[in-house]
């Protein structure tokens, strides 16, 4: 097997693409997982809970 620069570049581009696609799918699945809904809803509203009082 001849390993030249073009082969290494093609291999790294392909695996980098698969890695990024898998990472994006993992983030999407984590975001929309039903058990995480309450956590994200609480985070969405927690920043506005103490909006009318001054910071300490």
Q: Model confidence over 1-56: pLDDT tens digits?
A: 678 999 999 999 999 999 999 999 999 999 999 999 999 888 888 877 766 777 66
pLDDT of residue 25: 98
pLDDT of residue 52: 72
Report d(CA 16, CA 14) in Å as an integer. Answer: 5
Report d(CA 13, CA 21) in Å as an integer. Answer: 12
pLDDT of residue 18: 96
What is the residue whose two structure tokens read 């909006």? 51
User: Does the reported pTM lie above 0.75?
Assistant: no
């Amino acid at each position: 097997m001849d390993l030249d620069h073009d082969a290494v570049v093609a291999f790294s581009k392909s695996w980098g693409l698969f890695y990024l696609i898998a990472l994006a799918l993992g983030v999407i699945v984590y975001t929309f997982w039903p058990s995480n809904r309450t956590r994200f809803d609480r985070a969405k509203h927690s920043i506005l809970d103490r909006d009318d009082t001054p910071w300490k």
